[in-house]
Amino acid sequence: MKKIAILQSNYIPWKGYFDLISSVDEFIFYDDVQYTKNDWRNRNKIKTFQGVQWITIPVEQKNLEQKIKDTKVADNRWNKKHWSTISQSYAKAKYFQEYKDIFEELYLKGEEKYLSEINYKFIMTINKILGITTKIRWSDEFELSNGQTEKLLAICKQCDANVYLSGPAAKNYFNKNLAKQENIQVEWIDYSGYPEYNQLFLPFEHSVSIIDLIFNEGRNATQFMKSFEC
């Protein structure tokens, strides 16, 4: 039994994204598809003393067919701005000082020009912090078919996977009958019922970046995630 997940790379994703990675044998960054504006690819939410705030990486979008992997940063000052906002917002978080140097280096010493490279760097570092050892691959390593479901199933087959784990949003377009024809079992991850943790600036908000959980709970972060439950 081999289980995989296939999902676009996101910028400092929320805890559910990392639960998805942690729940499979292989995780594929699906960045060989169209870049979507005002989505999670280049932005996420953090908690601040003024409330929930979006932080966004400015990117160039030359046409609607542009792929995520071809999307470049439009302003190389984004990293200093983001780190300034994050460090000010989380300075009083219990574990901020413990992880400050790791994230400061990610933000201030990176020279990546492409959004996918930035997302990959952050996700891999956060995987290490959380103890996630899932194998990570890219969708451009595979031969892709036409059609949304067909592309995903083609990756599953080339990975020799017989279980495909997906986020619930894919229920709107994924064709389970095609998966059944290919003898691939489809499972949907459940993002409900997360426990609350010690978060700064009430009211509590689940949908913020994973860095909120890390800075507030440190090495206890996985206790508030679902894929690490005993």
Q: What is the DSSP string of 140-195?
A: GGS---SSHHHHHHHHHHHTT-SEEEE-GGGGGT--HHHHHHTT-EEEE-----PP
Is the bond preceding 58 in cis, omega lying within 30 degrees of 0? no
Residue 230 forms part of a structural domain = no
Confidence class of residue 111 from pLDDT cuts 50, 70 and 90?
confident
CB 169 within 8 A of CB 194: no
Residue 70 forms part of a structural domain = yes
What pLDDT shows up at residue 92? 97
What pLDDT shows up at residue 110? 80
| pLDDT tens readout for residues 207-226 | 999 999 999 999 999 999 99
Question: Of 161, 151, 130, which Cα lies nearest the Cα of 25?
Answer: 161
Mean pLDDT of 14-22: 98
Confidence class of residue 144 from pLDDT cuts 50, 70 and 90?
confident
* Burial class of residue 160 (count of CB atoms within 10 Å of its CB; 0-12, 13-18, 19+): exposed
| pLDDT tens readout for residues 46-102 | 999 999 999 999 999 989 899 999 999 999 999 999 999 999 999 999 999 999 999
Which range of residues forms the domain containing residue 201?
A: 3-224
Confidence class of residue 230 from pLDDT cuts 50, 70 and 90?
very low
* Burial class of residue 196 (count of CB atoms within 10 Å of its CB; 0-12, 13-18, 19+): exposed
Counted domains in the chain:
1
Residue 229 forms part of a structural domain = no
Residue 87 forms part of a structural domain = yes
Residue 86 forms part of a structural domain = yes
